[in-house]
Amino acid sequence: MLLHSSPVSVEGGGSAEWLFDILVDGRPKTYLQFAEEYCEVTTDIEAICHVYVLRPLTQSVVAALNPHVELVELAEVLAQIEYPVPGAEVDPEPACSRDRPVSHHDN
């Protein structure tokens, strides 16, 4: 099972593996379930899909994910991880399904 009712301590290495399983699952719905259970927040699945397929972030997407954060506050970290920004040339967007893993590579 990918989601646990509570995280295992980081010292034991369990939390890293648990979160890794969620991230590599590749399905936005899995992350949505994690966010709602672990963070106790309601999250917009379309905003999660937006990030999963690496579309450039907008203030409305950021606000849907966290209403307490402004896009400009993320500029430095987005540059560090080379996340697409508005106006940047990006690869064609892969389709996003809530239930299917997102792939950024041609098979």
**pLDDT by 10s per residue, the chain, length 107:** 222 334 444 445 556 777 788 878 888 998 898 888 888 888 899 999 999 889 999 999 999 999 999 999 999 999 999 998 776 655 555 567 655 566 554 44
Torsion angle, alpha carbons of 48, 83, 81, 18, to 10: 20
User: How many angstroms separate the CA atoms of 107 and 105, rounded?
Assistant: 6
pLDDT at res. 103: 58
Tabulate helix, strand, coil % of the chain (nearest 5).
Answer: 50, 0, 50
Helix (H) or strand (E) segment spanning residue 97:
none
